[in-house]
Amino acid sequence: MAASNIATRSLPTRDVVVETFREEAAAWLFVVKTLIAFFLTGWIAMRLELPSPSTAMLTTIIVANRQSGMVLAKSFYRAIGTLAGAVVAVGIVAFFPQQRDLFLLVLSLWIGVCAGGATLYRNFKSYAFVLGGYTAAIVAIPVIENPLGVFDSATARISEVLLGLLVSAAVSDVVFPSRMRDVLRRTARDQFAHFVAFIRDSTGGAIPREAMEKAHLRFVRNAVMLEDLRSSVIFEDAEARARSNHLRLFNQRFMATSTTFHSVHHLINRLQRARRDTAASTLIRLYAPIGRALDAPIEAGAAARVLLPRLATARDDMRASAPALRASLDDAQDLRDFDTGATLLLRFVDELHDYVDAAATLQAPRVIAGSAERVRFDRGNDFLGAGIATARTTLTMLVLGAFWIASAWPMGASAMLLATVFAGLFASTPNPSRVTWIVMLGYLSGMTAAFVCEFFVLTQLDGYGLMVAGVTPFLAVGLVMMMTPSLASYGLGWAMGFAYVLALKNLQTYDPAHFINDAIAQVIGLGAAAISFLVIPPAIGSAWLRRRQLARLRAQVALAAEAPLPGLRHRFESVNHDLVSQVVAQTQPGSADSRTLIAWALAVHETGRALIELRHDMSRQGVPSTLRPYLEAALRTLARFYENPDATGYLLARDAVATAIASVGEHEGTSYLLDHLHLVRMALLDGESVLAAYMPDVPLAKEVAHAS
Note the pLDDT tens digit of each residue in 292-346: 888 876 654 456 778 888 899 999 999 999 999 989 888 888 888 888 889 889 9
> Domains of the chain, with CATH numbers?
13-178+380-535 (no CATH), 180-235+244-363 (1.20.58), 581-694 (1.20.1440)
* Pairwise CA distance, residues 489 & 524, whole Å: 19
Asked if 229 and 73 touch (Cβ cutoff 8 Å), the reply is no
CA angle 629, 632, 635 (to 5 degrees): 155
Lowest pLDDT segment from 122-136, 274-288, 508-522, 672-686:
122-136
Classified as helix, coil or strand, 586 is: coil
635 to 570, 573, 619, 696: CA distances (angstroms): 20, 19, 14, 22
Residue 645 backbone class (left: φ over 0; alpha: ψ -120 to 50; beta: rest): beta
- pLDDT band (50, 70, 90) for residue 21: low
- Are 600 and 554 within 8 A, CB to CB? yes
Q: Which amino acid is at 147?
A: P
Bigger pLDDT: 680 or 370?
680
pLDDT at 90: 92
Q: What mean pLDDT is predicted for residues 583-603?
A: 75
**pLDDT band with cut points at 50, 70 and 90 for residue 400:** confident
Residue type, 247: L
- Is residue 55 pLDDT above 60, yes or no? yes
Measured CA to CA, the distance from residue 222 to residue 224 in angstroms comes to 6
Q: What is the reported pLDDT for 705?
A: 34
The rounded distance, in Å, linking the Cα atoms of 175 and 143 is 39
Crossing angle of helices 209-233 and 568-585, in 10° steps, is: 100
pLDDT for the residue numbered 560: 92
**Of 555, 541, 525, 593, which is closest to residue 388 (Cα–Cα)?**
541
pLDDT tens string 170-210 = 888 788 777 777 777 788 888 888 888 888 877 765 567 67
Percent of the chain whose predicted confidence (pLDDT) is above 90:
20
How many percent of the chain have pLDDT more than 70?
87
pLDDT at position 471 over 90:
yes
513-521 long-range contacts, CB within 8 A, separation 24+: 515/451, 515/454, 515/455, 517/410, 517/411, 518/411, 518/414, 519/447, 519/451, 520/411, 521/409, 521/411, 521/412, 521/414, 521/415, 521/418
Does residue 605 or residue 545 have the better pLDDT? Answer: 605
Lowest model confidence (mean pLDDT) among 47-51, 273-277, 371-375, 496-500: 371-375
Does the pLDDT of residue 437 top 90, yes or no?
A: no
Has residue 353 got a pLDDT over 50?
yes
The string of pLDDT tens digits covering residues 421-430 is 777 777 767 6
Contacts of 668 (CB under 8 A, 6+ apart): none
Best-predicted range by mean pLDDT (14-23, 166-175, 347-356, 423-432): 347-356
What pLDDT digit, counting tens, does each position of 222-278 carry?
A: 887 887 777 767 666 666 677 777 888 888 888 888 888 888 888 888 888 888 888
> Looking at per-residue confidence, does 431 or 675 come out higher?
675
Closest to 385 in 3D by CA, of 601, 673, 583: 583
Q: How far is residue 394's CA from residue 467's CA, in Å, rounded to a whole number?
A: 39
Q: What is the mean pLDDT of the chain?
A: 82
Would you place residue 538 in the very low, low, confident or very high pLDDT band (cuts 50, 70, 90)?
low
pLDDT in tens, 539-585: 666 677 778 878 888 999 999 999 998 888 888 888 888 887 777 76
- Greater model confidence, 587 or 11: 587
Is the full-model pTM beyond 0.85? no
Q: Is the pLDDT of residue 76 over 70?
A: yes
Q: Calculate ∠ Cα 103-105-107, nearest 5°.
A: 65
Give residue 514's identity as a one-letter amino acid code.
Answer: H
pLDDT in tens, 500-528: 888 888 888 888 888 888 888 888 888 88
Predicted confidence (pLDDT) at residue 470 exceeds the cutoff of 90: yes
Nearest-10 Cα torsion for 594, 600, 605, 608: -150
Q: What angle do CA 207, 210, 212 make, to 5 degrees?
A: 50
Would you state the pLDDT for residue 649? 92
pLDDT of residue 292: 87
When pLDDT is cut at 50, 70 and 90, the band that residue 141 belongs to is confident
Out of 310-319, 347-356, 400-409, which region has the weakest mean confidence (pLDDT)? Answer: 400-409
pLDDT band with cut points at 50, 70 and 90 for residue 2: very low
- Which pLDDT score, from 0 to 100, does residue 599 have? 82
Let me know how long the chain is. Answer: 708
* pLDDT score for 123: 66
Q: What is the rounded (10 degree) CA torsion for 436, 441, 445, 448?
A: 90
The pLDDT assigned to 66 comes to: 75
